[in-house]
Homo-oligomer: A and B are copies of this chain.
């Protein structure tokens, strides 16, 4: 295993509805994105698309016009769900949006994780197969960020 990479987890995306003024939590989100070298999207899938909460956070940080926090930030997309398609359709919608935001996004390898019983072992660690898959993905993602970071 390679060493851990430093990163910040922006898992709390409780932004207000978009039509509100940009609240303090939105400005914090935009600051965190601005300070990052890359953005790793770990998505769920709701109704064959990305969660509304994720899309709302993306919309907030993309505005006001001309002041998007996302522009040029290298991105990666992975996801996990209970179903066999493992967020494949949510990821496709998300990729459409990231392209419009001008975020260089890693193409391959794709990771569509299914939350099955063997995803984690008895100690709560990732099972070996998933661990290898994700380590390979992470190595490729780090290379991608390194290439595109501004």
Which residues on A are within 8 Å of B, measured CB to CB? 13-15, 17-19, 46-60, 62, 89, 93, 96-97, 99-101
Q: Which residue of the partner chain, among B18, B49, B100, contacts A48 with CB atoms under 8 Å?
A: B100
Contact present for A52 and B46 (CB under 8 Å): no
Q: Which residue of the partner chain, among B51, B58, B100, contacts A18 with CB atoms under 8 Å?
A: B51
Q: How many copies does the complex hold?
A: 2
Closest to A12 in B: B17
Closest to A100 in B: B48
With the chains together, A54 CA to B99 CA distance in Å?
A: 21
With the chains together, A14 CA to B55 CA distance in Å?
A: 14
9 CB < 8 A contacts A-B? A17-B56, A18-B53, A47-B59, A50-B55, A51-B55, A51-B59, A52-B52, A52-B54, A53-B59
